[in-house]
Structure 1
C-alpha cells in the first residue's frame, strides 16, 4: 500500500487545570481532580476520564469538541445534511442522546453540558463514567458477562431499528426540520462508494487496476435495489468498542453523534464486519439481501478510503489504522465476481 502524504502538528490536549472549571461547574465544586487520562481511539473529539476525590462519583468522563481534538484533515466543517459524513459536535450528541432515551436505549447520563464557548474554548459535556469497560474488552476478560450484554445489545437494536421515519437523515438535522442529501439511502450509498473508490484507486494500485470493475459492480448492485418507504434508527458505526457494559450488565451506547434514520441493512453490514462470529446474536430475519450486497461492498471501500484519509493527518495510532485499510482492501477485492 502506498504511503499517503501527511503532516505533523503539535496538538494541545486538555490537562487537569483545563478541566477543573468544567468539573466544578458540572459537580458544584464538591470534587477535587486527582488525575486525568485522555482515552485512546477518538478521532473527532477528545474523551477524558477525570478521576475525583471528595464527591459522589470516583470519576467522570469529559467530552471536548474542538479543532485540537479533530484528526480528520480537511473536514473541519461538519455537514449535517450528509448522513454518511463523519459527525461531530455537542448538538448532534445531545439530539442523539434524547432520541435514544426516547426509544429505551441505554446511553451515559449527561451531568452537564456547555456549547456557549464563553468560558471554554470548546464545546464540552460531562457524562457518567460507565465502570464496566467496553464490550470488546469483555469478550476476552468475561465471556459470560459479554454474552449477557450482547443479548441486551440485540434488544436495544430491535428497539432502535423498529423506530421508523419516512426519510433518511441525521437525527439533529431532522429535528430542526432539515432535509438530508440524496434521493434515497441506496443512491446516497452508491454516490459515496464511487467517491471512496476514486480516492482509494488514487492511493493504492491494487484498487486502481480494478477500478472500472469495482465501479461496474457497484452500479450493478444498485440497480437491483427496489425503493423503500421508511428508514430505521441506526447508530451508524456500532462496533464492540462503541458499547460499554454497565454494572448491571446493560449495553451502553457511546460515540452516538452520527445517529440517523437510514436503512437498517447499513447498520447490519457494519455489525457483521465488526462482531464477526458473534454477529449471529445480532442478526435478524427480514433484511433485504440486495441492500446487504450493495452496502457490504460500499462499506469495504469506505473502510479503505477513510483510514487512508485519516493517515494524511497526524492520527497517532497509525499502524492500527493502516491495518484497517489493508484488511478491507483485500475484502473489497474478494467481492468482485
Structure 2
C-alpha cells in the first residue's frame, strides 16, 4: 500500500525513490511487523486472559508442563496480524506471488483457529478430527499447485531443483501439483508438532524465514540468479517483503513466547507459519532445500512417525515420548537447554542451506 501511494510521487520528491527497492521495503516490513507484535502483544494477552482462553496440558506429558496450564494461547492471531499488515503496507500488491503466500497463510491460520477454538473455547479436547483438519489443509495446497501448473512462471515451473546439483532437474509434470500439496501440508504439520516448548518453534521459524527471504531475493534477481546458477523466477523478489514480515513478527512474538512463556501461538500460528514457509519454498523453486533449512521440523515429524510405526507394529517405543523434544525432557534435560540447542541446530542448518548456492 505504501509502495503504491508513495513511489508514484518519487519524481516530485526524490527521497521517495527508496520505495522502488525491495531491500528497503523488506527492512520496513521487518520493523513494522516487529513493532506491531510488541505493541499489540500485551493487549492480546490481557484479552485472552479475560476470556479464559488458556492452554490445556496433556496428563501423560512431562510433569513440568502442568504449571503451564491456563497460559493464554491462540497467540498466532498476533503473528498473523503482524505479517498481514506489514506485507500489505510494504509489498507491491500487483505481485501474484504475494497474494498466493498470503492466501495460504490466512487459510491455514483459519484452520488452526477453528481447531484452537474447539479445544479451548468449546472445551472439545480433540478439536478438529485428523481427517477434517487434513482435508482443509489439502484444499489450499492443491489450489496453489494447480494455479502454478496452469499459470507457469517460466519453463521450470514443474521441474524439481535438487540441492547441491545444478544440471539434474526432473520434470514432475502433473505430479508437481501433488508435490506442492505434500510440501505445504507436511511442513505445516511438522511445525505444529515442533510447537511444544516455550519458544521452541518460533526460533527455527525465524531462522528458516530469514534464509528463504535471502533465497527469494536471489531467485528474483536475474543477474544474481544467473551468477549463482539458480532458477530465475521473475517477480519472486517481492516475496522478500513477505519473508521479512515473518521474521519481524517472529521476533516480536518471541518477546512474549520466550521461556517462561506468557503466550502460546497455538495451531492458529503453527499451521499458518508452517504453510507460509512451505509456500515461500515452492514459489522460489527451493522446495527440497526445506528439508535442510527446516531440519528441526523434519526431525520432530520423523520422530513421531517412527514412534507411531514402531508402537503399532512391535508394541515398543523408539523414544520415551514423541515428538523428539519431549524425549529429551523425560531424559532430564532442562527445557531452556533443549530450546537453545534446537535454535543452534536450526541456525547451523540455515547457514548450510545457503552454502548450497555455491556448492553445486
Q: TM-score, normalized by length of structure 2?
A: 0.32
Compare relative contact order (CA 8 Å, sep 6+) and give the higher one, 1 or 2: 2
Give 1 or 2: higher strand fraction: 1
Give 1 or 2: higher helix fraction: 2
